[in-house]
Structures are given as structure tokens and as C-alpha cells.
Structure 1
Amino acid sequence: MPAAESAAQPARSFGPLVTPAELAAVDARVLDIRGEAYGKGHIPGAVDAPYKLFRGPSENPGRLVTPEQIEATLQNLGVDETRPVVVVHQGSDQDDFGAAARVYWTLKSAGLTDIAILNGGMNAWAAAGLPIDTAPVTPEPTLFEVRWTDRWLATEAEIAGLAEGAGDALLLDARPPAFFEGRQSHAAAPLPGTVPGARNVPHTEWFASGTTAIAPATTAADVAARLGIEPAREVVTFCNTGHWAATEWFALSELAGLPDVKLYPESMVGYAQSGHRLENTPGLVANLLRQLRGS
């Protein structure tokens, strides 16, 4: 597999969203990331590609899977550059979209260009009355070679530097306000709170109220403008484990078309586990947890 690279990617000719009708009309490699739900009914021809294949361990779910692992996974799933790739999630709620966005981000970082997400997921496909199959699909393995790029990746060191005032990137915390304000935390995070200097823009901003389909490109651009997110400024999104933040990255980078948007995959779980200074961490809670940890 070639070494990681940071060169500009080829122009995209497909996606980033498709409707059920559009997907039905194209010969695409469909990756169904829903896990157990795949066996209960899936899009004809779709392959079983559980979300966990693209995630880290339970103690740090946002951790990057190595390019070598991604390459082996994509080869086994029958992915190559001869067919577009479409990611299918359930579409059960607005949180669910983050799984598809995280897989999309991984595919794009791996060098694929003709990629898309089925907007509304499997629920939208079923609502459109399109055919559903229950027979598992075994794809022919490919020789796809990952060309990994860090162009859309923010590292822990970069986040720590931004927290200390180095750089001008806009840090966006994509979590619900309770997490940002330190009133709630992920089970794998040792402390509640957020990265110092971050701004809270919940991932739900990118959906119309009561819908599970993400807003179209023009709406995403309008939302970014309303929120005062300047197109020319570097933006870094994070959440608890790089799930909700992937939605925000997708909305800003792929829909609104901002040129310099990055995702911090490990997000607050990884950042807090590394012992960095946090903001919005209640003093009493922090002191108690430090005592329990013996520090």
C-alpha cells in the first residue's frame, strides 16, 4: 500500500448525497453499515459492512482504524474505483446519520472520490416502495489500494495547540449542549467538558426539524452563513467519538463546500483520556474524579 499522502484529490463526479430513486438507477457498490439489521432486509446487491469495521475499540471508539486495516476491509467488501460507493445507514433519527458520515469521511480519506450517502437511509428506501432483499451478498474481493490523505484529519496535537491559542482554526463542538456545558459526558471519557476555546454548534443544526434527511447543499450553506462560519477559515469539528462531528464535517465540507474542514476522530474521549486541560468541567466533579484516580 502506498504511503500516506496529502496531495489534492481528483474532482468528484458523484454524490455526496443520493436519493432512493437515484441509487436505484445507478450501478453502485452499496455498503450497508447497519449490522444485524442487514439480515432482516437490505437493498438488493448491498454488502454487509457493519459500522464497527470503521471504528476503534470500545474504550476509544473514535480512534482511527489504520490504513492497512481499511484497505483490507474495502478489498473484502468488493470496493474499487470502477463503481461508485454508496453508504447506507438506517435513517432512524438525526444521530444515526453520523455513522454514515464517519464511514464516508473514511472512504474519502482512503482516496475514493465517487462516494455518496443515501439520504434518509434504509428507511427512505423502504418508504419509496423499492425492492428489499434478505439474501446475503458475498462480493468478489478487489485489489483496491488505499491512498490515505490527512487533508481532512485533525490530530490531538493540533487540537491541543488550538486550545492554547496556536492557530486560527475554528473549533466546533458538535455535541448537544449538555455535553458542551459539562453536564453530561460519554461513558469512556474520564471527565466532562470541552476543548478550551471551542464553540458549540450541535450536529442537529444541519437537519430540518423533525426529519432524518440532512439538509441539501444550499440549505447547509445558508446555515453556515447564519452561524457566522466564514468560508475561508479553517474549521475543526469534534464530539465525543467522531460520530456527530462527522455529520458536521460532512455538512460543512461536502454540502456547504467550505474548503478547509477537518475532523478530529478521537474527539473528547481521546482528548480527555490524554489528560489535556478542559473547559466547562465542573470543579467539584473534576476534583472528585482526580481523587478517585489517585492524581
Structure 2
Amino acid sequence: MRINLAGAALAAALLLTGAAHAERLTDKPLVDAAWLTEHLGNESLVILDIRDVAENVDPYAAGHVPGSVAARYSDGGWRVTVNNVPGMLPPTEQIQATIAGLGVNEDSQVVIVPAGTNASEFGGATRVYWTFKVLGHDAVTILDGGYAAWTKANGAVSTDAVTPVAGDFKAEFRPELLAGVAEVTAAIESDANLIDARSVAQFIGQEKTNTVQTLGHIPTAVNINFDKFYDAQNASFASPETIKQLAEAAGVANQSDFIAFCNTGHLASIAWFGLSEVEGLKNVRLYDGSMAEWTADPSRPVVTN
């Protein structure tokens, strides 16, 4: 009788460490339609369709990846207003309950499916991805190109709504992935790299959104426009080579300790994802409150050059 010692050792390790440390299906931040097709039906797989209702049409009801759960980005509980600042990470217990309610367990492999229409819309996927990471769940990835790529690859489509059974997801908060006012203030005086992911016009103070009180940007920040992280021609995320070039052009290549920000922490998640997860740079944080929070206090410095 032949005994598979490696398999026995793995099984024993899983018993000792618990389900939360079960083997991930992938360690890649992005997967394609072929990968998702291959893993459909896997018991550990939880597919979150984050597409929003548009023009009174629910895209999930019209068709979705088989087995996926509706988890709309805009009104699905992913972001809330905190101290009059919009788009913030919800309190840990609240977002933990939201995620568990979507059927996510501690050992689930989560796949996030956006629409795949443009760079800003893809920011919903990167923001949800960051949410899982900051809550301590590493087994998360994004379908590159979103639902558009899925249908282009002739992936199976279902109109059967999935009612998830609540999972046992538990958050293990990682403060090192999140920056606040104190960290940004310290970064201005240190070697930390502040990355403004907004448009050039907003960066130089020609334009602003209604969520921001003052024209301009945080001192010492460099601008890497969020849409540079997106390959519009192929409707996919930018390659590691492209992101490296962006970092070089901004003068931050081969460095560590970054804080990405935008207006409300949505577009900044695209830069965070590109620099941290795709390019693999170290110590990249997201300033959740971004310019909406920073400019709420007129004593905080803002510059236009």
C-alpha cells in the first residue's frame, strides 16, 4: 500500500491551521475568462458581480456568470459616509457582515466581476479588491476585462439569481494598507511618495469635483492619472511593464512607501492596485478619505504647482 506522504502532510497542516489558511486557487490579482471557466463549480469559489444598475436596467438580471452573486458596487454597502466624508470604508463589523452575507467564508476564493467598460468603472473592482485585502482576505482576484471579456470569450451566461447562504467571513484588519490624515501629513515631511490618481486638470487646480472644497493637490504629491493604469484598447488592466514606465515617468520607480489618493478613494484604488498588486511595489497604502477629507479642514495645505 503506497501512502502519499505529501498529501497527508498537507491535510494535517490544514487541520492544524484551520480552513482560513486553505490553499488559494490563484495568487494572481487578475484572472482571465479561461481561468474562471476552468474553476466554475469549485466549492471554494465565490463570484461577486459588482455591476450597477444603469438606465433602470439591472445587468445581473439580464445575464451573469453562472453561480455569481449580485453585489452591486454603488449601493451594496462597500462604501459609506463617515463624519460627512463620502465613500469611506465602513466600520469593520458592518463590512464584515456585508461580506459574510454574500456567502464568503474564511477559505473562499473570491473573484470580482465588474462590467469591463472603462477605467473608472474598473475602479469599483479595485476598490472592492482593496477592501478584501485591508480586511485580511488574500484569496481575492479580479476578472480582467470584466463581464465584457467574459461574453467576448463566449463564457456561459445565466439569468438564475443566486441567493447566498451567509458565510463565516471574519475580518482581520490590516492598518498598514490604509492611510489617514496623520499618515498623509507625515508623508509630506518624509520620503513617502504621495500619488494623486486624479486627472491632470484636477491635480493642477483647473477643475475639482463637488466632493472637494479646494482646487489643487496635497503638497509633494506626483500625478499618475488613473486611466493610465487601464488598457482601453484591449479593455483590460495595464501590464506590469506599462506600470513600471508610469512609475519611472513620475520619478518613483524602484521605491517603496506609497500613499495613493484621489477625490474619494475610488480612482486611487486603481493606482493602489497597479502599484501594489500588479507591479509589486512595497508598502503601498490607500488614503480612503482622499481630497474630500483633506480639504474639509481649510488649515490643511493644498497647492497647485
Same structural fold, with TM-score higher than 0.5 when normalized by the shorter chain: yes
Q: Distance in 2 between matches of 1:97 and 1:11?
A: 27
- Shift in alpha-carbon separation, 1:218–1:84, aligned structure 2, 3 A: farther
* Other structure's SS at 1:30 match: strand
The aligned amino acid for 1:18 is V
1:21 matched to which residue of 2? 34
1:233 aligns with 2:256: yes
The aligned amino acid for 1:127 is K
2:8 matched to which residue of 1? none
* Other structure's SS at 2:112 match: strand
The aligned amino acid for 2:291 is M
- Shift in alpha-carbon separation, 1:182–1:67, aligned structure 2, 3 A: same
2:196–2:224 CA contact under 8 A, matched in 1: yes
Please say which of residues 67-76 and 270-279 is displaced more in the overlay: 270-279
Structure with greater Cα Rg = 2
Q: Distance in 2 between matches of 1:11 and 1:140?
A: 22
Please say which of residues 80-89 and 58-67 is displaced more in the overlay: 58-67
1:44 matched to which residue of 2? 66
Q: Distance in 2 between matches of 1:24 and 1:43?
A: 9
1:288 matched to which residue of 2? none
2:49 matched to which residue of 1? 32
RMSD: 2.1
The TM-score, its normalising length taken from structure 1, stands at: 0.86
User: What is the aligned-residue identity percentage?
Assistant: 36
Q: Distance in 2 between matches of 1:160 and 1:226?
A: 24
Q: Deviations over 1:51-74 (max 9, x none)?
A: 132112396333221111111011
1:196–1:278 CA contact under 8 A, matched in 2: yes
* Other structure's SS at 1:194 match: coil
Q: Distance in 2 between matches of 1:150 and 1:277?
A: 24
Please say which of residues 238-247 and 266-275 is displaced more in the overlay: 266-275
Greater fraction strand: 2
Q: Deviations over 1:112-164 (max 9, x none)?
A: 1111011111111111111111221111111221111112111111112333x
Which of 203, 210, 235 matches 1:212?
235
1:273 aligns with 2:296: yes
Q: Deviations over 1:166-204 (max 9, x none)?
A: x21011100010110111111121222110111111112
2:217–2:304 CA contact under 8 A, matched in 1: yes
2:102 matched to which residue of 1? 77
* Other structure's SS at 1:236 match: strand
1:35–1:51 CA contact under 8 A, matched in 2: yes
Q: Deviations over 1:23-77 (max 9, x none)?
A: 1111320111113222222111110111132112396333221111111011100
Q: Distance in 1 between matches of 2:211 and 2:243?
A: 31
Which of 169, 190, 194 matches 1:144?
169
Q: Distance in 1 between matches of 2:117 and 2:98?
A: 26
1:188 matched to which residue of 2? 211
- Shift in alpha-carbon separation, 1:139–1:10, aligned structure 2, 3 A: closer
Which of 192, 195, 200 matches 2:223?
200
* Other structure's SS at 2:185 match: helix
Q: How many residues align?
A: 271
Which of 112, 116, 121 matches 1:87?
112
Please say which of residues 138-147 and 227-236 is displaced more in the overlay: 227-236
Unmatched 5+ residue regions in structure 1?
1-8, 282-295
* Other structure's SS at 1:34 match: coil
2:211–2:263 CA contact under 8 A, matched in 1: no
1:3 matched to which residue of 2? none
Q: Distance in 1 between matches of 2:201 and 2:264?
A: 16
Which of 70, 76, 79 matches 1:55?
79
Q: Distance in 2 between matches of 1:254 and 1:107?
A: 13
Write out the 4+ residue segments of structure 1 that deviate beyond 4 Å after TM superposition. 9-13
Unmatched 5+ residue regions in structure 2?
1-20, 54-58
